[in-house]
Amino acid sequence: MRPPKAPYVLVNRVLGALLSSPRRSARVGEHLILLHVVGRKTGRLLRFPVAYRRVADGRLLVLTNSPWRVNLRDRPDVEVTLSGVRHGARAELVEDPAAVARVYRELIEQAGHRRAGRRMGIRINVDRTPTLEELAEAVRRDGLSLVYLTLDRRT
């Protein structure tokens, strides 16, 4: 069951305003960015606050099961507002269950299975780190995916 849309609209507007300014984004921008994508069907510019983490190679990683992710299929050019500064970026959407499960497993192991669920926005219903097979099934069932963002530093 999905929660009501109205609170998300309000929260997204407030976060959008906070994240759009270098000064206002100082605290909340440590873990959130604004992702700007063009809608596949409407062609409208869409803006979403999303949680991210940096990976070792410098890219940003977004974990999501949100419907907006389909706008990235075969359309990797996006923009990202990071610390109040807008950058061009290339998005790589990863939906392969095995690949997504491997990343989720690694992140769960780093955080510890007791804390990982809350930090990652997922439910872990076993008292251990889930197996790759269990995670791959969750990826298929819940539409979990990864988005890697490579910032264009020239913008």
Residue extents of the structural domains in the chain? 5-152
Q: What is the pLDDT of residues 10-29, one digit of tens each?
A: 888 888 888 888 877 777 77
Alpha-carbon torsion 58, 64, 69, 74, what sign? Answer: positive
Compute the distance between CA of residue 92 and CA of residue 27 in angstroms, rounded to an integer: 27
Nearest to 100 by CA among 148, 76, 135, 60: 135
Per-residue confidence at 93, pLDDT binned at 50, 70, 90?
very high
What pLDDT does residue 3 have? 64
Q: Report the percentage of the chain scoring pLDDT > 70.
A: 97
Assign domain 5-152 to its CATH superfamily: Electron Transport, Fmn-binding Protein; Chain A (2.30.110.10)
pLDDT (0 to 100) of residue 15: 85
Residue among 40, 41, 64 at smallest CA distance from 51: 64
CA distances from 121 to 22, 63, 79 (A): 26, 9, 24
Q: The dihedral of CA 84, 150, 13, 31: what is its sign?
A: negative
pTM across the whole model: 0.88
The model's pLDDT over 95-146, given as tens digits with 9 standing for 90+, comes to 999 999 999 999 999 988 888 888 888 888 889 999 999 999 999 999 999 9
Instruction: Return the bridge partners of 45, or none.
Output: 38
* Tokens of residue 116, six digits: 């990982």
